[in-house]
Amino acid sequence: MLTLDEGKMAVRLARESLTCYVEKKTIIEPEKLPPVFDEKRGVFVTLHEDGDLRGCIGYPQPVMALGQAIVDSAINAGTRDPRFPRLRPGELKRMEMEVTILTKPEPYLGPKKKLPELVRIGTDGLIVTKGPFSGLLLPQVAPEWGFDSLAFLSQTCVKAGLPPDAWMDEETEVQHFEAQIFAEVAPEREVFEKSFTESPCGT
């Protein structure tokens, strides 16, 4: 778990990384950060503009040091998300930065028909994989869109390019993970830690 101060550093690192790349085409090296940033962690960086998604890319698995993963994810979210045009320098001040730090994904235990009872809305993020198809939705997606556990499972399947009920297939792997979410209250403003566990109806 990161402290709030470490979460603030993570968001500042994401903003600095994206700003330097968009304005100067330079990739910064994370330096003088607490030891947690040297640990391998999964992470996603999400950009919002006036509340609307503007980019979201990251690493589901802990394949590199957290600091480097934040740098890469921030740059990719702003310039390489295929759903959106590349961010221009003039847009940076309109972006709200959000950094989601993941625990290692693990499969649910139990029969597939019991999955809707196991998914914890506001706590679990989901990864659905079947053959070459894979889709991920972060924990904040379900409460922000008002999904119940069944809808969350179905939407993760759709994200993977699979039928909504593919989670019931024995050949489909459904993994879950938890996350800490740190975000700016407004572009370039104070950073807070999001929590959805107290409100089931809140990407």
pLDDT per position as a tens digit, 92-137 = 999 999 999 999 999 998 899 999 999 999 999 999 999 999 999 9
Residue 197 has pLDDT above 70, yes or no: no
φ/ψ of residue 44, rounded to 5: -130, 145
pLDDT per position as a tens digit, 151-176 = 999 999 999 999 999 999 999 999 99
DSSP secondary structure of 158-182: HHTTS-TTGGGSTT-EEEEE-EEEE
> Exposed, middle or buried, 162 (CB in 10 Å: 0-12/13-18/19+)?
buried
Boundaries of every domain in the chain: 4-103+178-194, 106-177
14 in Cβ contact with 73 (< 8 Å): yes
Compute the distance between CA of residue 173 and CA of residue 150 in angstroms, rounded to an integer. Answer: 16
Looking at residue 93, what is its pLDDT?
A: 94
The fold of 106-177 is Dna Ligase; domain 1 (3.30.1490)
Question: Could you give the count of Cα atoms lying within 13 Å of 77 in the half-sphere of its Cβ?
Answer: 32
pLDDT per position as a tens digit, 26-70 = 999 999 999 999 999 999 999 999 989 999 999 999 999 999 999
- Mean of pLDDT over the chain: 94
Question: Could you give the count of Cα atoms lying within 13 Å of 66 in the half-sphere of its Cβ?
Answer: 23
Compute the distance between CA of residue 80 and CA of residue 96 in angstroms, rounded to an integer. Answer: 17
Looking at residue 195, what is its pLDDT?
A: 85
With a CB cutoff of 8 Å and minimum separation 6, the contacts of 106 are 175, 176, 177
Tokens at residue 74, please? 């921030």
- Domain 4-103+178-194: give its CATH architecture: 2-Layer Sandwich (3.30)
173 in Cβ contact with 166 (< 8 Å): no
Say which residue the tokens 């950060």 belong to: 33
Question: Could you give the count of Cα atoms lying within 13 Å of 96 in the half-sphere of its Cβ?
Answer: 16
Looking at residue 142, what is its pLDDT?
A: 96
